[in-house]
Structure 1
Amino acid sequence: MSVPVLLAVTGAPWEADVVRRAERAQGIRVVRRCVDIADVMAAAASGQARAVLLAEDLPRLTSDAVAALHARHIAVLALVDPSDNGEPTGAEDRLSRMGIERILPADVSAEDLGRAITDAVESGPPATVSHFAGGFVPLSSETVANPERNGYEPYGQGAGRVIAVWGPTGAPGRSTVAVGLATELAARGVSTLLADADVYGGTVAQLLGMLDETSGLAAAARSASGGSLDVAVLARQARQVGPHLLVLTGLSRADRWTELRPTAIESVWSTARNLAPCTVVDAGFCIESDEEISFDTLAPRRNGATLATLEEADEVIVVGTADPVGLTRLIRALHELRAVVPSANTRVVVNRVRSGSLGSSPADAVAEALSRYAGVQAAALLPFDQAACDAALSHGRSLIDAAKSSKLRKGMQQLAAGVLRDLLS
């Protein structure tokens, strides 16, 4: 039985030749010719085809569209113009970053075209590889001992680690912990990328005294969606804050959340692994899924970026507050995270620890509650230090610059030491 194929090469100079070869190719059958990606998606949704053959410059082609086609078990192949000298033009790299598994020259023979399409359909769409599967790739001691080694050149084939900082609703201090951890790692000579991925209200730029009219993360996501994101592009879209710290600023307005699509965010974190040894991501609090639109693979999901970040992260730092309400939310959040992302490797941080609502021994109260109700045997405790936070916020600086000797800064140092120790082990 021949494979039903959608053909989307409208406007290409070689359109007529490709159509003729596709009609002659053995093992395939062109069921519809589409004019744009919207036409392709509509035809794919109707179940008419098992493969799509498209032109490299098809309007509005994005990684999200490719992922949606793969979700329907439709193979995606692309045709590119051969360069004048027979060498690749760069379109292959862009299309590969979108997730297109087969890229062919536009002058491919009918026989090779038919074979490539049938092979792609038989192989099935490419599997999504989880970064948890391979475990940790440890940082070398040389990386930490020699800061000169940590210039923002390509770091390696995905050797960098992604650390997500997440926590329940109620402002437990996710951004404070993310900024504090990133700046402490950078202070230890580890090149670090700090990214603000909070779709409900990112504050990293403000905490560091940066203008946030343009979102670096949104720009990186657009590049990823268009298949043009690489290490050099990501480095340009981030802002240099210190010798070893780059920052991808977040959304300036909460209503721009649609710019952070999960597929693009996954590509950003994958590229970040090649840019820096450590990427610290300030993630939004909500991980609920909208069941009403779950059947629609193209519908935007506000919490999609957060879920993608937690799934891609090598470690999730879960932040809660040291009071009865905060601990209840933290315990519930831990159970919810384990249900939604079972593979998550978690580290619990309890913020604003002080005597008061938890009695005269708040550390003991926190430890007992987490052990009894969440199965957490050890948690990092950060002291309540309002003066240090006020000094840092009023000056738009990190604790290292604004409150170097504060109790909170010392707690951040201990947290960074623990994170780095685990990365090196």
Structure 2
Amino acid sequence: MARLIVALDPATEDRLLADLVEHGHDLVARAADWREVAAGLDGASIDVVLVGAGRDTLSAELLTACDERAVRLIAVARDDRERAMAAQLGLHEIVDSSASWAEIERLVSGGVPVASRAAGPLPPARSGSRVVAVWGPAGAPGRTTIAVNLAAELAATGLRVALVDADPYGGTVAPVLGLLDEAPGFASACRLAASGALDRAELVRIAQRSTASRVAFDVFTGLVGPGRWPELAEDRVATALDAIRTIADVVVVDTGFSLETDESVTGDPFAPRRNGATFAALAAADRVLAVGLADPIGLSRLLRGHAELLEAVEAERVDVVVNRVRASVLGVDASMQVRQTLRRFGGIDRPVLLPNDARACDAAVLMGAPLRVAAPRSPLRSALRAYADAAFAPPVERAPRRRRALPGLGRPAPVAPPA
């Protein structure tokens, strides 16, 4: 038996109410809108919330409130528009308004009937899954742009990709991709991880699905305000990333910029660490992209930050990426000057250089889509795709080519020995 709060239109409620009671469930309250539902969650042991998928009865705030209390939320959609809105919020349990109670009962009593990757407890992380942390120093070097487009390019190769916004200073992945960010998905995952309630079904429900690049990948949106950084505690982030690895081949994490150790500044070793989320992402990463800008200020920041980064991450796991390489600030042969500067002052060989393409980036922001959609012929997109293929694509075994013998050039026939 489950305890429910419902917020449905009168016709749907009248049709389902008798079956709800007949199956032995306890209707705790009826609500007119999502605010009444959220208020009813406090002080009552609620198992399930059943609401219409319209804007009056379903919102990101209600979804967050249910996440915090580990209450299952089911939406009843009257049309494709309401279904799309519920899915955009990150809700997975959506049924049609014509659905019988038998269909809803499977959700209420038997869990979420979803694909096998989202059912049951979380197994250990797959050995083949990888975590890629995209880090960069202060100064907006392009961490989010690279993380978003790297995720899109990897998903285009057929890999299952999850993009995580773990920046404790405020998330930007959602607006870049044109997604709703009222409910911070990664913070919800961290809260559920802290209570031991983060399973596959919750991961699928919390994640938003980005299809703007014509290939789908999961997005765990970031904090809507920097003041909420305590939600991304270091141990929670580590646990949540381990869980996300079970549903993806590659997890791309957009991290914060600061590598400052808070406890050494405050003098309190037990104080919350604002940068703990960044250190947790770097520790979990199989590969770290250190991103810097190709100008005198950006390169100086990158070199200083790279030295700090190597105190937390082994050099073998770090790829240095220099963004916006252009002659207008570096002069003739800007690429060679970047390579010589990094080699001379940082001992960095073979950095990944990305060309400047402000027009393509502006088009991507305007469309709320990755470069592969907004500017598929962009030089920046081509460079990112080449890096993704070289660094993450599985090696392709090619069959040895057989040479065809040209006429008259084959092996000479054996000559019989003289008698």
Q: Same fold (TM over 0.5)?
A: yes
Checking the alignment, whether the CA contact within 8 Å between 1:310 and 1:344 is kept in structure 2 is no
Contact 1:265 1:309 in 2 (8 A): yes
Paired residue for 1:211, among 173, 180, 190? Answer: 180
1:249 counterpart = 2:246: no
Match of residue 277 from structure 1: 249
1:198 aligned counterpart, secondary structure? coil
Q: Distance in 2 between matches of 1:189 and 1:152?
A: 19
The answer as to whether partners of 1:251 and 1:257 remain within 8 angstroms in 2 is: yes
Distance 1:328 1:249, change over 3 A: same
> Mind listing any 5+ residue stretches in structure 2 that lack a counterpart?
1-69, 71-114, 398-419
Q: Which residue of 2 is the match for residue 165 of structure 1?
A: 134
Partner of 1:266: 238
| 1:200 corresponding residue in structure 2 | 169
C-alpha distance in 2 between matches for 1:383 and 1:247: 26
What's 1:240 paired with?
A: 209
Matches within 5 A, 1:14-93: none
Task: Give the aligned partner of residue 356 of structure 2.
Answer: 384
Alpha-carbon deviations, 1:355-398, whole Å to 9, x = none?
A: 12211101000111111111211111111001100100011111
Q: Which of 258, 274, 288 lines up with 2:260 in the alignment?
A: 288
Output the CA distance in 1 between the equivalents of 2:149 and 2:228. 26
> Against the structure 1 CA distance between its residues 343 and 411, is the aligned structure 2 distance closer, same or farther, given a 3 Å change threshold?
closer
Does 2:138 correspond to 1:177?
Answer: no
Question: 1-side partners of 2:322 and 2:385: how far apart?
Answer: 15
CA contact (8 A) 1:150 1:191 kept: no
Partner of 1:412: 384
Q: Which residue of 2 aligns with 1:4?
A: none
Q: Secondary structure at the match of 2:219?
A: strand
8 Å CA contact 2:117, 2:247 repeated in 1: no
Cα distance per residue 1:147-191 (max 9 Å; x no partner): xx9977879743211000001100000000000100000011111
Give, in angstroms, the shift of residue 292 of structure 1: 4.4
Give structure 1 stretches of 5+ with no counterpart.
1-93, 95-148
Amino acid at match of 1:193: A
Cα distance in 2, alignment partners of residues 203 and 256 from structure 1? 14
Can you list the C-alpha shifts for 1:83-122, whole angstroms capped at 9, x where unaligned?
xxxxxxxxxxx9xxxxxxxxxxxxxxxxxxxxxxxxxxxx
* Equivalent residue runs for 1:117-136 within 5 Å: none
Return the letter of the residue paired with 1:181: L
Q: Work out whether residues 193 and 272 of structure 1, in 8 Å CA contact, stay in contact via their aligned partners in 2.
A: yes
The question of whether the paired residues in 1 share the 8 Å contact of 2:118 and 2:201 is answered with: no
Say if 2:381 is the partner of 1:402: no
Q: CA–CA distance in 1 between the matches of 2:116 and 2:155? A: 10
Letter paired with 2:297: V
Give the structure-2-normalised TM-score: 0.62
Q: Which amino acid aligns with 2:252?
A: V
Selected match of 1:231 from 186, 200, 208: 200
Aligned 8 A contact 1:193 1:276 in 2: yes
Distance 1:206 1:197 in 2: 15
Cα distance change of structure 1 residues 340 and 157 upon mapping to structure 2, 3 Å threshold:
closer
Q: 2:189 aligns with which of 220, 238, 244?
A: 220
TM-score, normalization by structure 1: 0.62
The offset of 1:201, in angstroms, is: 2.5
Report the 3-state secondary structure (helix = DSSP H, G, I; strand = E; otherwise coil) of the residue aligned with 1:339: coil
User: Could you say what the CA RMSD is over the residues aligned between the two structures, in angstroms?
Assistant: 2.4
User: Quick one: distance in 1 between partners of 2:269 and 2:395?
Assistant: 38
* Alpha-carbon offset, residue 293 of structure 1: 4.5
- Whether 2:274 is the aligned partner of 1:305: answer no
Structure 1 residues 156 and 184: CA distance shift in structure 2, 3 A? farther
Q: Distance in 2 between matches of 1:215 and 1:420?
A: 28
- Distance in 2, matches of 1:174 and 1:219, equals 23
SS for the counterpart of 1:287 is coil
Report if the CA contact (8 A) 1:155-1:276 is conserved.
Answer: no
Which structure has the larger Rg?
A: 2
TM-aligned CA deviation for residue 423 of structure 1: 8.7
SS at match of 2:353: strand
Q: Deviations over 1:287-344 (max 9, x none)?
A: 10121446443x2111110011111111100100111111111111110101233466
- Which amino acid in the other structure matches residue 246 of structure 2? N
Q: 1:403 to 1:264 in 2, by over 3 A?
A: same
- Secondary structure at 1:340 match in 2: coil
Write the distance in 1 (CA, Å) between the matches of 2:131 and 2:191: 20
Q: 2:156 aligns with which of 178, 181, 187?
A: 187
Please state how far the C-alpha of 1:411 moved relative to its aligned partner.
1.2
Q: 1:292 to 1:184 in 2, by over 3 A?
A: same
User: How far, CA to CA, are the matches of 1:268 and 1:342 in structure 2?
Assistant: 23
